[in-house]
């Protein structure tokens, strides 16, 4: 019950779940923002109308206080517009208007109470969603009765109300003003909520259907990617197998041996391309899967897979300055590490005596930070900003697909982490990977 009330007051819109929901959420929030704008606009008009009525009634201070709702609304609106206040907090600001207007209670209970309840009525109407909207109307009806009652039984002046001409005039003016404002506003709110709420509901239904369609398309795509990758790779791998058999034949002419090697190399490249396309599609389609795993083991395993590419001069070191057991998406982290360590090995300098990779892992407030430093070829400054781009290839040799680092960045973005790079040509490269510690 309390949670419901809180949701109601903070305009926490429910969003249909399932499938990639990001888009629908943002559209709903946008709609919510439009409602907020209308709400604050209404409050401003309301305050203005009231202050004018009070002014006519010749009570200066009351008018001034009541009028303060206008700048308050404007300030709130500005704060929200410049992005200082989030949409969900915006509603709280509208309370300020209400509370300030409540000060008019000192001189006139009727207008004060009306001013106080007004934002709440609007908020209630807007916040009530779907089936519950009728309760919003019930609540409004009850509030109208209470307000009308309070207005008509203005305690302070009622005993002398019908005997003193001046007071009677004041009472009539007060009542007419309050009633007119209330009616106008309520009509406006009803129209507003009816129209926009319906629109909002329609959108939700449409979005929900869209989500259904998308998740269906997604699972079909899943199946499709599975089939295609298998059907593409199967013949490729059979050619690879046959090449390795051919290579084992005795007395091969040197030229044929060379051709076989080149063919095998081409097959590997094609296979890598298929793997990376698959990796990309997997990262964009599949949800993040958090699980505990040992980060050191993951790093070591990845280096072990590369060990056969380097000679004994090559040194590999890991410095761990935080716990080794962490919680993240091990599959995705593995893909990133494979790419980064693979690059460090691939672009090592073969003309120096002490090629190395040093991996340092530390823990900051929000991230596990992995620095992978090497003394390899390095990347020129001009290229450093481009290496994370899709299909960008830093080397002129035919190696690589230009997808590796792009996928790394996509993965780290998806995980809410970061990946960056510092490099000096001829000296080496340091890649920094930041894995978020906390998950919302």
Partner 1 sequence: MTKKLKYLLIDDEEVFNFIHSQIIRLTDEFAEINEVRSSSEALEVIQNNASSKENFPDILFIDINMPEMNGFELLTQLQQLAPTFPKPIEIYIVTSSLFESDRLKAKTYPIVTGFIEKPVSNQQVRDIITKKASA
Q: Interface with partner 1 by CB under 8 A: which residues? A: 226, 229-230, 233-234, 237-238, 240-242, 244-245, 248, 275, 278, 331
CA distance 295 to 334: 9
CA distance 117 to 98: 7
Q: How far is the CB of 241 from partner 1 (least distance, A)?
A: 3
Which one, 39 or 243, has the nearer CB to partner 1?
243
Which one, 160 or 289, has the nearer CB to partner 1?
289
Which one, 196 or 225, has the nearer CB to partner 1?
225
Which one, 223 or 350, has the nearer CB to partner 1?
223
Cβ–Cβ < 8 Å for 388, 403: no
CA distance 65 to 111: 11
DSSP 416: T
Q: How far is the CB of 331 from partner 1 (least distance, A)?
A: 6
Cβ–Cβ < 8 Å for 404, 277: no
Which one, 99 or 232, has the nearer CB to partner 1?
232
Q: How far is the CB of 244 from partner 1 (least distance, A)?
A: 7
CA distance 319 to 325: 15
- Those residues whose C-beta lies under 8 Å from the C-beta of residue 367, and which sit 6 or more positions away, are 417, 418, 434, 435, 436, 437
Which one, 210 or 275, has the nearer CB to partner 1?
275
Which one, 250 or 354, has the nearer CB to partner 1?
250
Q: How far is the CB of 240 from partner 1 (least distance, A)?
A: 6
Q: How far is the CB of 407 from partner 1 (least distance, A)?
A: 14
Q: How far is the CB of 316 from partner 1 (least distance, A)?
A: 22
Q: How far is the CB of 340 from partner 1 (least distance, A)?
A: 20
Q: Rounded to 5 degrees, what angle do the CA atoms 172, 175, 178 make?
A: 145
CA distance 325 to 232: 37
DSSP 15: -
Cβ–Cβ < 8 Å for 236, 275: no
CA distance 193 to 137: 10
């Amino acid at each position: 019950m309390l949670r419901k009330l809180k949701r109601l007051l903070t305009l926490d819109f429910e969003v249909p779940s399932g499938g990639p929901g990001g888009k629908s959420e943002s559209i709903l929030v946008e709609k919510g923002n439009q409602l907020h704008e209308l709400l604050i606009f209404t409050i401003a008009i309301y305050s203005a109308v009231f202050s004018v009525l009070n002014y006519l009634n010749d009570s200066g201070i009351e008018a001034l206080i009541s009028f303060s709702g206008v700048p308050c609304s404007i300030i709130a609106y500005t704060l929200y517009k410049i992005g200082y206040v989030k949409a969900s907090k915006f509603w709280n600001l509208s309370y300020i208007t209400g509370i300030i207007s409540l000060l008019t209670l000192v001189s006139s209970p009727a207008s004060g109470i009306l001013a106080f309840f007004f934002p709440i009525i609007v908020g209630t109407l807007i916040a009530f969603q779907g089936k519950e909207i009728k309760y919003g109307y019930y609540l409004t009806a009850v509030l109208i009765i209470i307000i009308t009652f309070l207005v008509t039984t203005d305690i302070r002046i009622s005993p002398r109300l019908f005997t003193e001409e001046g007071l009677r005039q004041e009472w009539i003016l007060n009542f007419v003003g309050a009633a007119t404002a209330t009616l106008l506003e309520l009509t406006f709110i009803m129209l507003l909520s009816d129209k926009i709420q319906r629109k909002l509901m329609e959108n939700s239904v449409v979005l929900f259907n869209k989500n259904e369609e998308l998740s269906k398309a997604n699972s079909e795509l899943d199946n499709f990617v599975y089939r295609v990758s298998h059907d593409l790779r199967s013949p490729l791998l059979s050619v690879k197998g046959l090449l390795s058999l051919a290579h084992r034949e005795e007395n091969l002419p040197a030229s044929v041996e060379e051709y076989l090697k080149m063919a095998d190399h081409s097959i590997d490249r094609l296979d890598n391309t298929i793997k990376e396309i698959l990796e990309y599609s997997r990262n964009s389609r599949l949800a993040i899967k958090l699980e505990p795993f040992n980060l050191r083991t993951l790093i070591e395993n990845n280096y072990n897979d590369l060990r056969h590419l380097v000679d004994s001069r090559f040194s590999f070191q890991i410095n761990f300055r935080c716990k080794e057991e962490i919680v993240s998406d091990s599959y995705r982290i593995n893909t990133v590490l494979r790419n980064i360590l693979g690059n460090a090995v691939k672009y090592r300098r073969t003309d120096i005596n002490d090629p190395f990779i040093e991996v340092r892992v530390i823990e900051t407030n929000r991230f596990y930070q992995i620095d992978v430093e090497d003394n390899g070829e390095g990347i020129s400054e001009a290229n450093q900003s481009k290496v994370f781009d899709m299909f960008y290839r830093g080397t002129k040799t035919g190696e690589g697909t230009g997808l590796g680092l792009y996928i790394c960045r996509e993965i780290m973005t998806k995980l809410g982490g970061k990946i960056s790079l510092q490099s000096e040509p001829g000296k080496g490269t340091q890649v920094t990977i930041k894995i978020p510690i906390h998950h919302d």
